[in-house]
Amino acid sequence: MDRSKCIHCFKCCEECYADALVSVGEWRDTDSILKEILENKGYFDQSKGGVTFSGGECMLQPDALTELLKGCQAAGVHTAVDTAGNVPWESFEQVLPYTDLFLYDIKAMDTDVHKACTGVENGRILENFTRLVDRGENIFVRYPYIPGMNDDQVEKIAEFLHRWQQIEAELLPYHKLGNSKYRALEAQNVFEGTVPLKDEVEMLKKKYGFQ
């Protein structure tokens, strides 16, 4: 069918007796999400855990995100925001007071490499990151390491992060767990590539100070 004409009513998924078509995700309002989160408050307290808002990119919905963060914080639930950082600084300012931790993706220091990987340049991402660090926000960096895409960025990213002693960073080696989703979406996996060897990953972590 012509996918551009789909209005996302998901009736085809309800009708498909073989489950060949399934819908993933659902429309929710912030009240119902918050209610569900707070039903698990006992578990969060016991496990010393909390809530991580991710996506996609949760920072693309700053109003809804702020409401949810505010509700969690008021109830004493730890809040983390998982972001690629490519949003206006004003969105960060909005969520900052209610965020205990930012999980921040840094994929490349060279903007042309970043553009080849993601379709966008990295100026705003690095600027937002620097502003967050300078404000003393609690940040944990994640570097997805993809051989053939951004593996040549490891040293540059490590050098950039070493400006700040307090910043911890994790190197996330490429894996193929997402391939079934690409197949389901009949989409091309632009990251089809080699999974790095465990020894290589351990060596890089040790050499450049990643977790």
Residues that bind ligand SF4 (CB under 6 A): 6-12
CA 28, 4, 59, 62 torsion: positive or negative? Answer: negative
In the complex, the smallest distance separating the C-beta of residue 184 from ligand SF4, rounded to whole angstroms, is 14
Query: Which CB atom, from 11 or from 135, has the smaller least distance to ligand SF4?
Result: 11
Q: Please, what is the minimum distance in Å from the beta carbon of residue 26 to ligand SF4? A: 13
Angle 154-161/198-208 helices, nearest 10 degrees?
30
Shortest spacing between CB 8 and ligand SF4, in angstroms: 5
What whole-number distance in Å separates Cα of residue 95 and Cα of residue 32? 20
Helix (H, G, I), strand (E, B), or coil: what is residue 178? Answer: coil
Q: How far is the CB of 57 from ligand SF4 (least distance, A)?
A: 23
For ligand SF4, the closer CB: 6 or 195: 6
CB of 21 or CB of 197, closer to ligand SF4: 21
d(CA 110, CA 115): 9
Q: What share of the chain is helix, strand, coil (3-state, %, to 5)?
A: 45, 15, 40
**CA–CA gap between residue 91 and residue 16 (Å, rounded):** 40
Q: Which is nearer to ligand SF4, 15 or 39 (CB)?
A: 15
